[in-house]
A and B are shown apart, each in its own frame.
Chain A
Amino acid sequence: MVQTFKHQSEYKVIGSRPVRHDGFDKVTGRAIYGGDIKLPGLIWGALTRSPHAHAKIKSIDTRAAEKIEGVLAIITSKDMPETEDKMVDLGEGDENPRWTSNKLMAQQKVLYKGHPVAAVAAVNRYIAEHAATKIKVEYEVLEAHNDVDSALRKDAAIILESLEGDDLGEEIHNTNLAKHEKYEFGDVDKAFTNATYIEENTYTMQMVHQGYIEPHNATAFWDEEDRVKIWTSTQGAFTARTALSNLLQLDVSRIKVTPCEIGGGFGGKIPVYLEPIAALLSKKTGRPVKMMMERTAVFETTGPTPGGKVWVKIGADKEGKLIVAESKIWFEAGCNPGSMIEPAAQCIYAPYDIQNTRIDTYDVIVNKPKVAPYRAPGSPQVAYAMESAVNDLCEKAGWDPLEFRMSNASDKDTRRGDGVKFSVIGTKEVIKATKNSDHWNSDLGTSEKGKVRGRGISHGYWFNIGLKSSVNLNVNKDGTVTLIEGSTDIGGSRASISMQAAEVLGIPAEDVRPSVVDTDSVGYTDVTGGSRTTYATGFAAWEAANNLIVEMKKRVALYFDRNNEDVNFESGVFSVEPDIENEKPERKITFKEIAEKIDDDDLGGPVNSVGSVDLESAGDGFGMHIADVEVDLATGKTDVIRYTAVQDVGKAIHPSYVEGQMQGGAAQGIGWALNEEYFMQDEGGMVNSSFLDYRMPTSLDLPKIETVLVEVPTPLHPYGVRGVGEVPICPPLAAVGNALKDALGIRFSDLPMNPAKIIKAIGN
Chain B
Amino acid sequence: MANTNIHITTTINGQPYEFLAPSYMSLLDALREIVGLTGTKEGCLDGNCGACTVNVDGRIVDSCLVLAAEIDGCEVETVEGMASSEGLHPLQKAFLEEAALQCGICTPGFLVAAKGLLDNEPNPSEHRIRHWLAGNLCRCTGYDKIVKAVQKVSSEG
Asked if A35 lies at the interface with its beta carbon under 8 angstroms from chain B, I say yes
Residue-wise, chain B 88-108 has the 8 Å CB interface mask toward A (1 for contact) of 100010011111011111111
Residue-wise, chain A 285-298 has the 8 Å CB interface mask toward B (1 for contact) of 00000001011000
Asked if A9 lies at the interface with its beta carbon under 8 angstroms from chain B, I say no
- Could you tell me if B39 and A262 are in contact, using CB atoms closer than 8 angstroms? no
- Could you tell me if A213 and B105 are in contact, using CB atoms closer than 8 angstroms? yes
- Could you tell me if A126 and B1 are in contact, using CB atoms closer than 8 angstroms? yes
- Could you tell me if A702 and B24 are in contact, using CB atoms closer than 8 angstroms? no
Asked if B79 lies at the interface with its beta carbon under 8 angstroms from chain A, I say yes
- Could you tell me if A26 and B104 are in contact, using CB atoms closer than 8 angstroms? yes
- Could you tell me if B105 and A263 are in contact, using CB atoms closer than 8 angstroms? yes
The CA-CA distance from A760 to B101 in the complex, in Å, is 39
Given known A28-B83, A28-B88, A691-B44, contact A664–B38 (CB-CB < 8 A): no
- Could you tell me if B103 and A262 are in contact, using CB atoms closer than 8 angstroms? yes
| Chain B proximity of A337: nearest CB distance (Å) | 28
Chain B residues positioned under 8 Å from A261 (CB to CB): 103-105
Chain B residues positioned under 8 Å from A692 (CB to CB): 46, 48
- Could you tell me if B88 and A660 are in contact, using CB atoms closer than 8 angstroms? no
Asked if A460 lies at the interface with its beta carbon under 8 angstroms from chain B, I say no
Asked if A30 lies at the interface with its beta carbon under 8 angstroms from chain B, I say yes
- Could you tell me if A660 and B103 are in contact, using CB atoms closer than 8 angstroms? no
| Chain B proximity of A58: nearest CB distance (Å) | 29
Chain A residues positioned under 8 Å from B97 (CB to CB): 19
Given known A264-B139, A656-B145, contact A28–B102 (CB-CB < 8 A): no
- Could you tell me if B39 and A29 are in contact, using CB atoms closer than 8 angstroms? yes
Given known A24-B96, A35-B42, A36-B38, contact A492–B143 (CB-CB < 8 A): no
Asked if B45 lies at the interface with its beta carbon under 8 angstroms from chain A, I say yes
- Could you tell me if A295 and B45 are in contact, using CB atoms closer than 8 angstroms? yes
Asked if B80 lies at the interface with its beta carbon under 8 angstroms from chain A, I say yes
Chain A residues positioned under 8 Å from B107 (CB to CB): 26-27
Kindly report which residue of chain B lies nearest to residue A23, judged by CB atoms. Answer: B96
- Could you tell me if B38 and A29 are in contact, using CB atoms closer than 8 angstroms? yes
Asked if A31 lies at the interface with its beta carbon under 8 angstroms from chain B, I say yes
- Could you tell me if B139 and A212 are in contact, using CB atoms closer than 8 angstroms? yes
- Could you tell me if B46 and A264 are in contact, using CB atoms closer than 8 angstroms? no
Given known A263-B41, A263-B105, A490-B103, contact A660–B140 (CB-CB < 8 A): yes
Q: Which of A20, A33, A265, A664 has the most CB of B within 10 A?
A: A664
The CA-CA distance from A561 to B35 in the complex, in Å, is 59
Interface majority SS (helix, strand, loop, mixed), chain A: loop
Binds B, one of A171-179, A275-283, A693-701, A709-717: A693-701
- The answer, among B38, B95, B104, B143, for a CB contact under 8 Å with A263, is B104
- The answer, among B79, B99, B138, for a CB contact under 8 Å with A29, is B79
| Chain A proximity of B24: nearest CB distance (Å) | 7
The CA-CA distance from A704 to B146 in the complex, in Å, is 11
| Chain A proximity of B116: nearest CB distance (Å) | 15
Find residues 678-723 in chain A having any chain B CB closer than 8 Å to their own CB: 690-692, 696-702, 704-705
Given known A19-B97, A657-B102, A705-B142, contact A29–B40 (CB-CB < 8 A): yes
Kindly report which residue of chain A lies nearest to residue B101, judged by CB atoms. Answer: A26
- Could you tell me if A660 and B99 are in contact, using CB atoms closer than 8 angstroms? yes
Q: Which of A19, A127, A656, A700 has the most CB of B within 10 A?
A: A700
Chain B residues positioned under 8 Å from A266 (CB to CB): 139
The CA-CA distance from A475 to B41 in the complex, in Å, is 36
Chain A residues positioned under 8 Å from B39 (CB to CB): 28-30
| Chain B proximity of A506: nearest CB distance (Å) | 25
A-B contact pairs, 30 of them (CB 8 A): A23-B95, A23-B96, A27-B107, A28-B79, A28-B80, A29-B38, A29-B40, A33-B105, A130-B1, A212-B103, A212-B105, A213-B106, A214-B43, A264-B102, A490-B102, A491-B102, A491-B103, A656-B98, A660-B140, A663-B141, A664-B141, A667-B139, A667-B142, A691-B46, A696-B139, A699-B134, A699-B138, A699-B143, A704-B144, A705-B142
Asked if A428 lies at the interface with its beta carbon under 8 angstroms from chain B, I say no
- The answer, among A27, A215, A660, A691, for a CB contact under 8 Å with B111, is A27
- Could you tell me if B139 and A691 are in contact, using CB atoms closer than 8 angstroms? no
The CA-CA distance from A701 to B147 in the complex, in Å, is 13
The CA-CA distance from A288 to B81 in the complex, in Å, is 31
Chain A residues positioned under 8 Å from B8 (CB to CB): none
The CA-CA distance from A22 to B105 in the complex, in Å, is 13
- Could you tell me if B137 and A698 are in contact, using CB atoms closer than 8 angstroms? yes
Given known A213-B51, A663-B142, contact A29–B78 (CB-CB < 8 A): yes
Q: Which of B103, B133, B134, B142 has the most CB of A within 10 A?
A: B142
Kindly report which residue of chain B lies nearest to residue A262, judged by CB atoms. Answer: B103
Find residues 242-301 in chain A having any chain B CB closer than 8 Å to their own CB: 261-266, 292, 294-295
Asked if A498 lies at the interface with its beta carbon under 8 angstroms from chain B, I say no
The CA-CA distance from A490 to B106 in the complex, in Å, is 12
Residue-wise, chain A 506-530 has the 8 Å CB interface mask toward B (1 for contact) of 0000000000000000000000000
- Could you tell me if B46 and A690 are in contact, using CB atoms closer than 8 angstroms? yes
- Could you tell me if A295 and B46 are in contact, using CB atoms closer than 8 angstroms? yes
Residue-wise, chain B 56-81 has the 8 Å CB interface mask toward A (1 for contact) of 00000000000000000000001110
Asked if A668 lies at the interface with its beta carbon under 8 angstroms from chain B, I say yes
Find residues 13-60 in chain B having any chain A CB closer than 8 Å to their own CB: 22, 24, 32, 37-46, 48-49, 51
Kindly report which residue of chain A lies nearest to residue B80, judged by CB atoms. Answer: A29
Asked if A227 lies at the interface with its beta carbon under 8 angstroms from chain B, I say no
| Chain B proximity of A639: nearest CB distance (Å) | 12
Q: Known A-B contacts: A660-B102, A690-B48, A699-B136. Give 14 more (CB < 8 A).
A: A19-B97, A26-B107, A30-B39, A32-B38, A35-B38, A36-B38, A261-B103, A656-B145, A664-B102, A691-B43, A691-B48, A698-B130, A699-B129, A699-B130
Chain A residues positioned under 8 Å from B103 (CB to CB): 212-214, 261-265, 490-491
Find residues 95-133 in chain B having any chain A CB closer than 8 Å to their own CB: 95-99, 101-108, 111, 129-131, 133
Kindly report which residue of chain B lies nearest to residue A662, judged by CB atoms. Answer: B142
| Chain A proximity of B43: nearest CB distance (Å) | 5
Asked if A666 lies at the interface with its beta carbon under 8 angstroms from chain B, I say yes
| Chain B proximity of A5: nearest CB distance (Å) | 27
Asked if B6 lies at the interface with its beta carbon under 8 angstroms from chain A, I say no
| Chain B proximity of A43: nearest CB distance (Å) | 13
| Chain A proximity of B17: nearest CB distance (Å) | 17
| Chain B proximity of A288: nearest CB distance (Å) | 15
Chain A residues positioned under 8 Å from B145 (CB to CB): 656, 659-660, 663
- Could you tell me if B44 and A664 are in contact, using CB atoms closer than 8 angstroms? no
Chain A residues positioned under 8 Å from B143 (CB to CB): 667, 698-699, 702
Asked if A642 lies at the interface with its beta carbon under 8 angstroms from chain B, I say no
Asked if A17 lies at the interface with its beta carbon under 8 angstroms from chain B, I say yes
Find residues 311-344 in chain A having any chain B CB closer than 8 Å to their own CB: none
Kindly report which residue of chain A lies nearest to residue B148, judged by CB atoms. Answer: A704
The CA-CA distance from A262 to B105 in the complex, in Å, is 8
Chain A residues positioned under 8 Å from B142 (CB to CB): 660, 663-667, 697, 702, 705
| Chain A proximity of B126: nearest CB distance (Å) | 8
Given known A691-B48, A699-B147, contact A213–B138 (CB-CB < 8 A): yes
Asked if A369 lies at the interface with its beta carbon under 8 angstroms from chain B, I say no
| Chain B proximity of A557: nearest CB distance (Å) | 41
Kindly report which residue of chain B lies nearest to residue A654, judged by CB atoms. Answer: B99
Kindly report which residue of chain B lies nearest to residue A263, judged by CB atoms. Answer: B105
Asked if A211 lies at the interface with its beta carbon under 8 angstroms from chain B, I say yes
The CA-CA distance from A635 to B110 in the complex, in Å, is 30
- The answer, among A33, A265, A660, A663, for a CB contact under 8 Å with B41, is A33
Chain A residues positioned under 8 Å from B138 (CB to CB): 213, 699
Chain B residues positioned under 8 Å from A698 (CB to CB): 130, 133-135, 137, 143
- Could you tell me if A264 and B140 are in contact, using CB atoms closer than 8 angstroms? yes
Q: Which of A210, A212, A292 has the most CB of B within 10 A?
A: A212
| Chain B proximity of A470: nearest CB distance (Å) | 23
Chain A residues positioned under 8 Å from B46 (CB to CB): 295, 690-692
Find residues 1-54 in chain A having any chain B CB closer than 8 Å to their own CB: 17, 19-20, 22-24, 26-33, 35-36
| Chain A proximity of B5: nearest CB distance (Å) | 13
- Could you tell me if B99 and A20 are in contact, using CB atoms closer than 8 angstroms? yes
Given known A126-B24, A295-B43, contact A700–B131 (CB-CB < 8 A): yes
The CA-CA distance from A210 to B103 in the complex, in Å, is 14
The CA-CA distance from A26 to B88 in the complex, in Å, is 12
